[in-house]
Amino acid sequence: MALAKIVYASMTGNTEEIADIVAEKLESLGLDVDIDECTTVDAADFEDADIAIVATYTYGDGELPDEIVDFYDDLQDLDLSGKIYGVVGSGDTFYDEFCKSVDDFDAAFAKTSAEKGAENVKVDLAAEEDDIIKLEAFAEALASQAD
């Protein structure tokens, strides 16, 4: 059975909820899922997974959350060839750089030689019904790549 590893950073709980939505869908599709807050794991933990997922929020004017910066830096040094990745996250459309951290992690994963398995999903604050549909489609796309 394929293993999906989800690592998240969440200040208000919105991004943790996004990670949980993706995890629940992956589990319903028959995958094993590990989900961890970013300060409790190392980026190298992705080496043991078939699917690597980051769920992050964007802080202020496009900055990575402080608690995930080390994880982000370490991720770029990994070789994740043969792995599938995806990135989701939350932000606030009030800011010019909406969900920029999602794009930053997408670029970081690209440096690892992992294959992008689904388009990024960006959520304005908390996940609404249409966001949940997109997040579940994201999970389905990743799971289909892991077969």
Domain boundaries, the chain: 3-144
Name the pTM for this structure.
Answer: 0.97
Evaluate whether the domain defined by 3-144 bears CATH number 3.40.50.360.
yes
Question: How far is 32 from 137, CA to CA, in rounded Å?
Answer: 18
Q: What is the pLDDT of residues 37-81, one digit of tens each?
A: 999 999 999 999 999 999 999 998 899 999 999 999 999 999 999
Supply 94's token pair. Answer: 């009030």
Question: How far is 37 from 10, CA to CA, in rounded Å?
Answer: 8
Q: What is the pLDDT of residues 87-146, one digit of tens each?
A: 999 999 999 999 999 999 999 999 999 999 999 999 999 999 999 999 999 999 999 998
Asked if pLDDT for residue 147 goes beyond 80, the answer is no
Q: What is the pLDDT of residues 21-42, one digit of tens each?
A: 999 999 999 999 999 999 999 9
Cα 30 to chain centroid distance, Å, stands at: 19
Residue type at 94 in one-letter notation = F
> Which of 127, 115, 63, 116 is CA-nearest to residue 89?
127
